[in-house]
Amino acid sequence: MRTLRLVLEYDGTDFVGWQSQKSGRTVQDALEQALHTLLKEPVRLIGSGRTDAGTHALGQIAHFQTDAALPTHQLLRSLNGLLPPDIAVRTADEVAADFHARYSATRKRYRYRIHQGKAAVNRTQVWTYYPALSLTPMAAAARSLCGEHSYGAFCKQDPIPEHLTCHVFDAVWTQRGTELVFEIEANRFLRHMVRILVGTMVEIGRGTRPPEAIVELLASGDRSAAGATAPARGLCLLWVAYPDSL
């Protein structure tokens, strides 16, 4: 039995998310169906984590086990030929039997893009936001996120996660032309965490909250006191890191 790892990119616009569900088109289902066709055996794909409906990925990781002897370079070419246009496999390699896409992960990095004004070409990849935003207080708020904190105020509460603590290694806002871009790297993320952080920091950028509100929200754990959840279309999973031994 071989363990194979895939590095995936996908446009999440027409998917109801990564994880297989009873109804709706999912990334996991599309990949498993293509692998079943290619390998002539049922395949259960395990991803590094869920992405929401409409969320994109440039470096999602997934693994599966197979008895098939197909070389990885042939699997890569053939699998991409079977997949729809909005999913691409960037690399495929064989890994140690104890590799696990979710539980072996040590860090992830996400990017969120806000377009200031109307967007046409990139409209499914950004949050089009018209009111003026000030980058300086948003950047100050982002710096407060670094370190280990409880993110109860910045996660979906249904269901309430068993474990609310995340260690954020980097959180930064930059301006790229007409876009404000937020990138955050952490050991783990809670559901909707990045989108709620962005929604809250947008309020800071508009001047309706001070930058130090982030610190107060981290301490309170009160989701109702934080900002709205930003749209999924602006969010992209950039990469997932693993120990060198895997």
The residues that are catalytic are 52
Q: Are 4 and 89 in contact (CB under 8 A)?
A: no
Local structure of 75: helix, strand or coil: helix
**Count of alpha carbons within 13 angstroms of residue 8, beta-carbon side:** 31
Task: Enumerate residues 6+ apart whose C-beta is below 8 A from 228.
Answer: 196, 199
- Give counts: helices (H), strands (E), the chain: 5, 10
Looking at residue 163, its amino acid is: H
Q: 182 near 173, Cβ under 8 Å?
A: yes
Residue type at position 9: E
d(CA 28, CA 64): 11
Query: Exposed, middle or buried: residue 191 (CB in 10 Å: 0-12, 13-18, 19+)?
Result: middle
For residue 7, count other CB atoms closer than 10 A to its CB: 19
Task: Decide if 89 contacts 80 (C-beta within 8 A).
Answer: yes
Cis status, amide bond into 159, omega within 30 of 0: yes
Sign of CA dihedral 14, 111, 196, 161: positive
